[in-house]
Amino acid sequence: MIIKQTICLFTVIIMAITNASSAFSSSIQEGVISISKQIIADMPSSEKQKIAVIDFLDINGQSTEFGKFLSEELIAHLFNTQKFIIIERRMLNKVIEEHKLSVSGMLDEKTVKQLGKLLGIDAICSGSITDLGSSLKINARLISTETGSIFSTASTDLKKDDSINKLLGKSSAISSGNSNNPILNIGKLVLSSTQIALGLLQGISSIPYYLSTSLYNINKGLIDANAKLTLDDTYESAYGKRISEVPESGDTGEVFRRMKHATKYFQKILKKYGEPNYDKYILTSIDTFTDKGYTLFAVIYRPMQVIKVIDKYDARTVREFSSEDRLFYEPFEKDMNNKPIDMIIDWAGLEKKYMSTQKGQAILMTMAANSVLNGKKSPEYWDIEREWIAGKFLDIVNEKMDNVRKKMGL
């Protein structure tokens, strides 16, 4: 019974990969169709199977960006079949780290059984990628956590094409580059559906990692992740355009230059969604190092339209700002009487260039709106702002971006 269920489970896994034509090249699609034909079994009507998918490894047993991409796509499509309960990658990695387990190379029986008990899963899906020069050989296997044995295998040869070469190029560039640069080769980064969903959880700090992924795929990933607001919602609410009417560049001729104008767009989006306090949410920036190419952005909740505050750059001066003033669009922790003013929803230290396009700005507002609607809070911001103004902006940017990259599985 275990063998039959596992084989049937693997059949659905292969079918899920086969349906991933939007993310993979036709070469991969054809190869996966070949694999699915090797497995002949009917999927029984039964309870959802609980599984974990680990990275597909290269011939040396090493995890690569291409292998991560392959496994992430698999996770996304398996989840969408609604036939599986899939262990979240962070939980899997946490268990592996806490119990000092090794998942490199061939999984041994003891490790498989231990993971099964710790995670309460029925099977582990793993695979390998072998570069044969002009083609790749993909081997996949399902391992029962009850017996520790491989119950089903499949393989295919994929002829390299432009799509595959781009992914492989991305892999080698990232793995051989400077590991201290959290956004190395970001211009080549194409996110999977799962990575788009994970980026949503990280809020506006994830923006740079989205920029090389197409508008359509970002929007689809947000829909799959059940985001409260998608890019389509943002373009329609802020710019009066459906995403199907927008060129791939994302440019419809509307780019904001100041946070005052950004906030007007942002509040239109929240109002269209039905947020009753839409006019209390503001997009802000600290521009002390804009001349060096970096800006500290924040999404805030401010209940008043006029504020009296102590100048954060000159503690001897009291200033009054209204929504017509440029400095109104900076965060302020307290007013002149030491009473709290702003609540920080989300923040990010970003290179200025990422906010220079309408696509980047639309992603910013989409992520910011989701942070608001999901009830996100970021009280740590005030310490960050003080360090930023003191000149530690590069450390803040690199630490934050590296943390986001890891949480997105990049």
Residues 172-231 have pLDDT tens digits of 333 333 344 444 456 567 888 889 999 999 999 999 999 989 999 999 999 999 999 999
Domains along the chain with CATH numbers: 2-176 (3.40.50.10610), 186-407 (no CATH)
Q: Does the structure show a pLDDT above 50 at 407?
A: yes
3-state SS assignment for residue 156: strand
Q: E strands within 132-216?
A: 135-144, 150-159
Nearest to 346 by CA among 369, 373, 376, 374: 376
Question: What span, in angstroms and rounded, lies between the C-alpha atoms of 302 and 340?
Answer: 10
Question: What span, in angstroms and rounded, lies between the C-alpha atoms of 123 and 2?
Answer: 10
- For residue 119, the number of C-alpha atoms closer than 13 Å in the C-beta half-sphere is 31
Question: What span, in angstroms and rounded, lies between the C-alpha atoms of 73 and 143?
Answer: 19
With beta carbons less than 8 A apart as the criterion, state whether 286 and 329 touch.
no
Q: Does the structure show a pLDDT above 80 at 378?
A: yes
pTM over 0.85: no
Main-chain phi, psi angles of 257, to 5 degrees? -110, -25
More confident residue, 62 or 287: 287
Q: Which residues contact 36 (CB under 8 A, 6 or more apart)?
A: 11, 14, 15, 18, 154
Distance of CA 227 to CAs 14, 21, 270, 284, Å?
27, 23, 14, 23
Tens digit of each residue's pLDDT (9 = 90 or more) over 130-171 = 888 788 887 877 788 888 887 777 677 777 777 667 666 543
Tens digit of each residue's pLDDT (9 = 90 or more) over 53-103 = 888 787 766 677 777 777 776 676 666 656 678 787 777 777 877 777 766
pLDDT of residue 127: 78
pLDDT of residue 15: 52
Tens digit of each residue's pLDDT (9 = 90 or more) over 312-366 = 888 889 999 999 999 999 999 999 999 999 999 999 999 988 999 999 999 999 9
* H helices present in 46-136, as ranges: 65-80, 89-98, 109-119
